A and B are shown apart, each in its own frame.
Chain A
Amino acid sequence: MLALAGCQRTDGESGDGSEPDPEDGDDSDDDVMAVPEVVEVEDPPDAVYVPTHREAMRMLEPIAAGDLRLAPMLSYPHPFWVIAGGGGSDDEVQRVDPDDGRGVHMMFTLWDDESGVVLPIDDGTQLRISRDGEQVGQPRSPWPMISQEMGFHFGDNVSLPEDGTYSVEVTIPPVSTRKTGDLAGRLEEGVTATFEFVYDDEFRHEVVGGVEYLDEEDWGRRGALAPMDHGGGMEDGDHGDDMGGDEHGDGHGHVDDGHHDDHADDSHHDDHEGHHHVPYSALPDVEAYPGTLLLESRADDRPEETADLPRSGDAAFLSTVTEPGFRLADGDERYLLVSPRTPYNRVPLADMSMTVTIERDGEVVAEPTLEQILDSEYGLHYGASIADVRADDTVTITIESPPQVARHRGYETAFLEMEPVELTVPEVQ
């Protein structure tokens, strides 16, 4: 059931903190493992699943980049999956293994400082790394990614030639996705920010030594790690009830709502240990959305939580039809708001394409195309203005392409083959 994988270096760690020879490119002489030995879930379900361990990372101080803030985070290089397509051929998804252990998995969360909204989309963000004023490696565009602990973020494995202090220049182009609410007309300028970090034995100790294994019985179970405590950095002491979800997918008790509830309106406060609070990309839960929630069948109860929503490819689909004249609709029309998200942590699933068919008495009455939208209140969602929709109409959401975002462990088998979601309109307001 389980396989050993990914161990780049087996000579263990030593606590003596001696400096590795910076001229020495030969990994085998290093004192500290650059990558932990990890055990993988061998045959995970085609769904969100609990990995074997929580990763450790070093959080750096968030920095300002124009109207945005950026929180850099560093871990050891680790596997992730990149996707171009994803519905059809296996080749459309590729597992990326770090090529050599020396380096970091570099990540950052990006958010609008004013609204606290995490930007879950990429318009061509770029990284340029240097050391003592000398460029290190080529520029790169980090991947937009989702992970259970980090939510939506940008990241990539970056090899580093040797220990030292590195400087990273991040360039973020204007946000081209349609923005609404308080974001309308904003984030139209490209911005740049720079941060520094130290790569050394101490860092490797911290991130490699900080890996925490979960109880073996949870490995590969349907569910997800709770979002990491971004405020507390690495010292995330209490892992007692970190995981959510279970076989039935009811998801109770996994995400501590009081703690990780990152609604746009209350996410912007400083946390305890003097770190700046870093928002997690969670979307609001069901009750925060306007209008009538569409159901799989009329007889269903109204889902109270994301985990109870209809699913496709294990993504939870929150779909509502608003009253006429809603602010996101054209004129007097209603608005169909579709918000696919990860089932436990409510991370928005960006860069999907979907079409909708609305049927009444067996006849197709409308076939709107859903547009990806970033709203200050409802976050990333897909929407269409609808002239005419009535109670008992059937609304079928067809997923043309699944979320084209790279995935960390536990998300790589989900949100790929996505069946249409067939819903019914219980009533209209």
Chain B
Amino acid sequence: MAPDRSSLSRREYVRALVAAGGASALSACLDAVGGGDERSGVDAPPGTDDPDSLPGRQHAWNGALSSDDDGNVQLPAHHVLLALSLHEGPDEDARETTEAALRTLERAYEWSNDGLVFTIGYTPAYFRRYHGSIPDSVDLPEPVALTDRENPTFDEFDAVVHLASDRPEVVLEAEEGLVGDRETVNGVDVETDLGSVFDRLDDRRRTGFVGEGLPADRTDLSGVPDSVPEEAPFFMGFRSGFRESQATEDRVTIEDGPFAGGTTQHVSSMDLQLEVWFEQDNHYQRVSKMFSPEHAEGDLVGSVGERLETTNGLSDERIEATAADARERGVVGHAQKAARAREDGEPLLLRRDFNTGDGDRPGLHFLSIQREIGEFVRVREAMTGADLDVPSANNGILHYIFVNRRGNYLIPPRSLRSLPPADPDSEREPID
């Protein structure tokens, strides 16, 4: 059902449309952005007919994305995570159909913020279900609860497509085209869609947004206080994803074996308690808990992180001081804690997380890619900080986040992105 336009600002409205999804949301969105009409669809920069001109890594987004004023990669503003379930075991036809459908998107949209970037990833459940085993050449365990305080449900469906664009109408149109609810995408005919291979799982569909000003626009949601800072790109009020605290795409790419050129993806979804965060804690306490107590004392962050440019300001010294801060200051920062998991000074995760208003409640879909799921688990353990002598409420941001889903995925290299077998080097396994 399309959201009610009258009570929302334009930006609120288009985000509500992305959250709603479907053909009517798309047409309403096209109306609202005025970039095209229902028949001709969106008017975004076109894609390419030459698939080889695109990177071999599905997750190679950074080179195509724009940068913020400080030179940090700027993630597209609008996101959809499309959950897919296979009708039946994959066969050669299904592979070809999947590949053709994905190529249609590449032909339709430029690989950029203004066009579309996307990945398709597969769960361990997919490999287990259809190929009898999980690839042993990559570290892709089944998702599990990672802390004592969560009881998540797990992504057990087969695949997820992550669509991202600065244009809300593009993520909606691409999604409709993929599932066969639309005949053209950005003026390109949809000859093949995923509908004959996959079901879209509507109740597992996730959406979100990231960027300056977007969270403050969502005070229409209950649980989002008016005090969310105007310029903040994330609900919790600070910039995130500085170049120096992100892993490079090389660092997260699988190097050996049949899936070389791929990566692994973890997606966790969490509720956020913003009323306590903004209306009980003060800014000094928020900076202490998000970055480090030294960031608060030295006023290093500014109101939303504008004082930080390409780094979160964590020197090796401050990272090492985490355990001492726990005891001597009674509080540690989230970033400070998580940075303890860096290896040889290098972050392990490339975070591409985004805010959400799914379910009409504020939350975060935390999405990160890394070479091995085990690396994600190590970073999450560093974030949990069970080793730190610090009370729970002052242990970074744990007091404010409530994890309710987790999923692990393999994002194969582009050449293997369509219904990959568990061991692509061996003979193609018999088709059911």
Is B one of A's binding partners? yes
A174 touches B285 (CB 8 A): no
Complex Cα distance A405/B331, Å?
A: 12
Q: Does A89 contact B (CB under 8 A)?
A: yes
For B393, the closest partner residue in chain A by CB is A143
Q: Which of A123, A137, A159, A401 has the most CB of B within 10 A?
A: A401
A99 neighbours in B (Cβ, 8 Å): 275, 279
Contact with A along B379-409 (1 / 0, CB 8 A): 0000000100111111000111010000000
For B280, the closest partner residue in chain A by CB is A96
Q: Does B297 contact A (CB under 8 A)?
A: yes
A353 touches B328 (CB 8 A): yes
Q: Does B65 contact A (CB under 8 A)?
A: no
A138 touches B293 (CB 8 A): no
Contact with A along B248-287 (1 / 0, CB 8 A): 0000000000000000000000011111100111111100
Whether A85 touches B391, Cβ cut-off 8 Å, given contacts A137-B222, A138-B273, is no
B285 touches A92 (CB 8 A): yes
A82 touches B281 (CB 8 A): yes
Complex Cα distance A403/B398, Å?
A: 19
Q: Does B330 contact A (CB under 8 A)?
A: yes
Q: Does A164 contact B (CB under 8 A)?
A: no
Cβ 8 A contact of B280, one of A94, A372, A405: A94
A144 neighbours in B (Cβ, 8 Å): 391-393
For A139, the closest partner residue in chain B by CB is B402
In the assembled complex, how far is the CB of residue B325 from the closest CB belonging to chain A, in whole angstroms? Answer: 9
Contact with B along A338-364 (1 / 0, CB 8 A): 000000000000110100000000000
B273 touches A84 (CB 8 A): no
B398 neighbours in A (Cβ, 8 Å): 124
B288 touches A124 (CB 8 A): no
Whether A141 touches B399, Cβ cut-off 8 Å, given contacts A156-B276, A174-B148, is yes
B399 neighbours in A (Cβ, 8 Å): 124, 141
Q: Does A140 contact B (CB under 8 A)?
A: yes
B391 touches A122 (CB 8 A): yes
Complex Cα distance A126/B11, Å?
A: 33
A86 neighbours in B (Cβ, 8 Å): 330
B296 neighbours in A (Cβ, 8 Å): 89, 91
In the assembled complex, how far is the CB of residue A104 from the closest CB belonging to chain B, in whole angstroms? Answer: 15
A141 touches B393 (CB 8 A): yes
Within 8 A of B (CB), among A92-124: 92, 94, 96, 99, 121-124
B149 touches A124 (CB 8 A): yes
Whether A137 touches B223, Cβ cut-off 8 Å, given contacts A85-B329, A122-B392, is yes
A126 touches B402 (CB 8 A): yes
A94 touches B222 (CB 8 A): no
For B361, the closest partner residue in chain A by CB is A138
Complex Cα distance A92/B284, Å?
A: 7
A-B contact count (CB 8 A): 124
In the assembled complex, how far is the CB of residue A98 from the closest CB belonging to chain B, in whole angstroms? Answer: 10
A85 touches B293 (CB 8 A): yes
A85 touches B331 (CB 8 A): yes
Q: Does A400 contact B (CB under 8 A)?
A: yes
Q: Does B340 contact A (CB under 8 A)?
A: no
Cβ 8 A contact of A85, one of B149, B272, B330: B330
Complex Cα distance A428/B326, Å?
A: 33
Within 8 A of A (CB), among B333-391: 361-362, 386, 389-391
Q: Does A379 contact B (CB under 8 A)?
A: no
Complex Cα distance A85/B386, Å?
A: 19
In the assembled complex, how far is the CB of residue B361 from the closest CB belonging to chain A, in whole angstroms? Answer: 6
B281 touches A84 (CB 8 A): yes
B285 touches A84 (CB 8 A): yes
Contact with B along A386-413 (1 / 0, CB 8 A): 0000000000000011101110000000
For B225, the closest partner residue in chain A by CB is A99
A85 neighbours in B (Cβ, 8 Å): 285, 288, 293, 329-331
Within 8 A of A (CB), among B310-336: 326-331
B148 touches A89 (CB 8 A): no
B392 touches A141 (CB 8 A): yes
Whether A94 touches B273, Cβ cut-off 8 Å, given contacts A138-B223, A176-B148, A404-B330, is no
Cβ 8 A contact of A171, one of B149, B276, B288, B297: B149
Q: Does A45 contact B (CB under 8 A)?
A: no
B276 touches A353 (CB 8 A): no
In the assembled complex, how far is the CB of residue B304 from the closest CB belonging to chain A, in whole angstroms? Answer: 17
Within 8 A of A (CB), among B117-144: none
B389 neighbours in A (Cβ, 8 Å): 353, 372
Within 8 A of B (CB), among A67-94: 82-89, 91-92, 94
Q: Does A173 contact B (CB under 8 A)?
A: yes
A405 neighbours in B (Cβ, 8 Å): 391
Q: Does A190 contact B (CB under 8 A)?
A: yes
Whether A138 touches B271, Cβ cut-off 8 Å, given contacts A126-B402, A174-B148, A400-B327, is yes
Cβ 8 A contact of B149, one of A94, A135, A190: A190
A402 neighbours in B (Cβ, 8 Å): 330
Q: Does B200 contact A (CB under 8 A)?
A: no
In the assembled complex, how far is the CB of residue B200 from the closest CB belonging to chain A, in whole angstroms? Answer: 26
B280 touches A351 (CB 8 A): no
Cβ 8 A contact of A139, one of B147, B273, B297, B392: B273
A173 neighbours in B (Cβ, 8 Å): 148-149
Q: Does B289 contact A (CB under 8 A)?
A: yes
B394 neighbours in A (Cβ, 8 Å): 84, 404
Whether A94 touches B400, Cβ cut-off 8 Å, given contacts A86-B330, A140-B276, A404-B331, is no
Complex Cα distance A405/B284, Å?
A: 17
Complex Cα distance A123/B393, Å?
A: 9
Give 30 CB contacts A-B under 8 Å. Answer: A82-B280, A82-B285, A84-B281, A84-B288, A85-B329, A88-B297, A91-B282, A91-B284, A96-B280, A99-B275, A121-B391, A123-B149, A124-B398, A138-B272, A138-B275, A140-B275, A140-B276, A141-B276, A144-B391, A159-B275, A171-B149, A173-B148, A176-B148, A350-B391, A353-B330, A401-B327, A404-B331, A404-B393, A405-B391, A406-B393
Residues of A within 8 A of B (CB): 82-89, 91-92, 94, 96, 99, 121-124, 126, 135, 137-141, 143-144, 156, 159, 171, 173-174, 176, 190, 350-351, 353, 372, 400-402, 404-406
Known: A85-B285, A138-B271. 7 other contacts (CB 8 A): A82-B285, A84-B288, A91-B296, A94-B281, A121-B391, A123-B392, A404-B393
The 7 A-B pairs of least Cβ separation, nearest first, read: A91-B284, A401-B330, A124-B149, A351-B391, A353-B327, A84-B331, A173-B148
